[in-house]
Structure 1
Amino acid sequence: MTLRTTDLGTGRQTLTTTAFGYGAMSLAGAYGPIDEPAALKLLQEIYDRGVTFIDTANIYGLGLSETILGRFLEGRRDDITLATKCGIEPKGEAGKRSVNGRPEHIQEQIDLSLQRLGTDYVDLYYLHRPDPDVPIEESVGALGELISAGKVRSIGLSEVTAQEIRRAHQTHPITAIQSEWSIFARDVEEYVIPTCAELGIGFVAFSPVARGLLTDRFDPEALGESDARHKFPWFAPENLGHNHQLANKARQMAADAGLPTPGLALAWLFTKAAGADLKLSIIPGTRYVQHLDELLTGLDGQLSVELVAALDALADEVSGDRSFSPAWVSGGREALLPRASGAHSM
């Protein structure tokens, strides 16, 4: 199976990859258990469907996701566009970690990631979060040095503001910006996406189905005790019931359009990106092949102007913010998350 591709970035820093990728946080059990044999089988199914863009990070399972990917990559490395990240301290639990954008930390973490991944380079290396105590120019300068060293082929940033993007891009060409973007999470449309389009920077959207809310089998009662979603306001007891019912509106629209809800969610994103003249790749994560196939239907979904407008309206009804801490995401630092309450530490 051959999937359509997209060009992230411009000029010498252009990275051509599939417009549909795989977010490998799920391999580390963030949304429920998956053992290594099942993870490797899932990766094979993903590969067989033509998905060759795989995104991970050093903190996913404190190296577990990278380690599993390293085993899968044996004999396939040249076929895969591989992205990983640094910049969040790889210790502690989600929601309580600190950031670290110091050059020496970046240089240390790339070597550890390459060792786990079993490769001598990654195609795209992100600063996972900007460090408020380190000028972004210093962090990006260190990332650029990794290109010169042959360890990295292009660089990106995750959850950065439009202003941070401009400062970073002046230091070294940025290939991709990664952030959460979905029917329910739209703050990046205000400043970040127009900036990416203007500068020719690609955009990589994570959590495109709102961490599972925009699927057809989401069960609010089935979240396990260790499920990472408990840390996010959308899934707090006071918000979850409302948001689940709001997602039912999207499910009905999907049914009327003849699409599974995840397919509708991805088709909406591609439609919005086309309207913004934005180069987009989407990296949903899943542990199930059936979910993967439902997501892939979004690559070919054709949405009417009326349907897009109806989906656009849902974001205003979401209860709670997309992050446990406004400072942790670009929209929070750009004062675009007005519903913030009960913020946790990073």
Structure 2
Amino acid sequence: MKTRNLGGGLGSVSAIGLGCMGMSEFYGPTNRDQSYETLDRALELGVTFYDTADTYGIGANETLLSDFVRQNRDNVTLATKFAIIRSDDPDVRHIDSSPAYMKQAVEASLKRLGIDQIDLYYAHRLDGVTPIEDTVGAMADLIKEGKIRGIGLSEISAQTLRRANAVHPVAAVQTEYSLWSRDPEAEMLATCAELGTAFVPYSPLGRGFLTGKVTTLSDLADDDFRHTQPRFADGNLDQNLNLLEQYRAIADSAGCSPAQLALAWVLAQGDHIIPIPGTKRRTYLEDNIGAADVTLNEDILTRLDTLFPRGAAAGDRYTEQGMQMTNL
């Protein structure tokens, strides 16, 4: 497995990480044994970078990862997050990025994970009230206390990253980025490169769309959260599917699967970019990891840029409420 560097002195990790959210919820039925098989296979394939959050499964995802992380502590760089507070109503979320809440959240995460130190700790979202300087200052205190090794921020603006980095070096910024979500190209990618901050794209497969396996809403489980996402809504999905036939043809030209094409394109956008495609299945994992060995020539890259210019996807990537929590 090729490696890439996180910022903040955290060192190198696998060039492709593993997003673990779907092992606990959001993408249909979950299976604990299947998840453990996928985690073990990821490690065999050289994946060292694993991503979770306290809100995934309302703590269940951190608990799921606990044994795996502890048993393989020297070979695993673990990222988790705080700030999104869930309620019994799945449609209700509260954001709290205050130092006071963070101190509670980090202790709860450490307990669920069963470890003494988190490698990379993200503010999952910002509440729009707490100054970023206060949030990052408190996270820097956690580094001094030995509870975390590095600071991460998610779904922020480039301006906020600069303010945060003035308080303490930011190891990574996590934001959605893929061929059909290219907004970070406006400022964020260049800002991260300038500051020595790794950029960690989540949903680099366009929430599965770019694998070519979602062609109708009936392909999704009844409780799959993509039923609520604008890009998968009636009308928008039909428009987006018009892109897939040409996209599959490009994948054939590149000699790789559609998923590998999407990931190889993300990797080609900068050496500081470390995508974390999520999956709970070994077969999809193995296909995804193969992207690390795919090299795209200029013709392929040009064809992809032409097919998926910024704004090509029909519909926002989140609901109106979800979009209000981004780019703060």
- Normalised by the shorter chain, which TM-score bucket? over 0.9
Q: What whole-Å deviation, never above 9, does each CA across 1:213-267 have from its counterpart, x for those lacking one?
A: 0013224221122111122211111211221231232122101211000100011
Q: Equivalent residue for 1:4?
A: 2
By how many angstroms is 1:320 displaced? 0.6
The answer as to whether partners of 2:10 and 2:149 remain within 8 angstroms in 1 is no
2:223 to 217, 226, 247: 226
Letter in 2 for 1:322: R
Q: Secondary structure at the match of 2:243?
A: helix
**2:57 is the alignment partner of 1:61:** yes
By how many angstroms is 1:129 displaced? 0.7
The answer as to whether partners of 1:141 and 1:172 remain within 8 angstroms in 2 is yes
1:312 to 305, 308, 313: 305
**2:277 is the alignment partner of 1:284:** yes
Letter in 2 for 1:242: Q
What does 1:248-327 align with in structure 2 at a 5 Å threshold? 248-273=245-270, 278-313=271-306, 314-315=308-309, 316-325=311-320, 326-327=323-324
Mark the CA change 1:302 to 1:95 in structure 2 (over 3 Å): closer, same or farther: farther
The answer as to whether partners of 2:38 and 2:285 remain within 8 angstroms in 1 is no
By how many angstroms is 1:94 displaced? 5.4
- Identify the structure with bigger relative contact order (alpha carbons < 8 Å, sequence gap 6+): 2
Q: What whole-Å deviation, never above 9, does each CA across 1:305-342 have from its counterpart, x for those lacking one?
A: 12112212324431011122332222xx6xxxxxxxxx
Distance 2:227 2:167 in 1: 38
Q: What whole-Å deviation, never above 9, does each CA across 1:9-54 have from its counterpart, x for those lacking one?
A: 15xx333211111001011121111221221111111111111110
What does 1:1-346 align with in structure 2 at a 5 Å threshold? 3-10=1-8, 13-92=9-88, 95-220=91-216, 221-273=218-270, 278-313=271-306, 314-315=308-309, 316-325=311-320, 326-330=323-327
The answer as to whether partners of 1:156 and 1:178 remain within 8 angstroms in 2 is yes
Q: Secondary structure at the match of 2:127?
A: coil
Letter in 2 for 1:99: I
Q: What whole-Å deviation, never above 9, does each CA across 1:48-74 have from its counterpart, x for those lacking one?
A: 111111000000010111000002223
Runs of 4+ aligned residues of structure 1 deviating over 2 Å after TM superposition are: 90-96, 216-219
The answer as to whether partners of 1:216 and 1:260 remain within 8 angstroms in 2 is no
Number of residue pairs matched?
A: 323
Give unmatched runs, 5+ long, in structure 1: 334-346
Over the matched positions of the two proteins, sequence identity in percent amounts to 38
Distance 1:164 1:92 in 2: 31
Letter in 1 for 2:80: T
Distance 1:323 1:92 in 2: 21
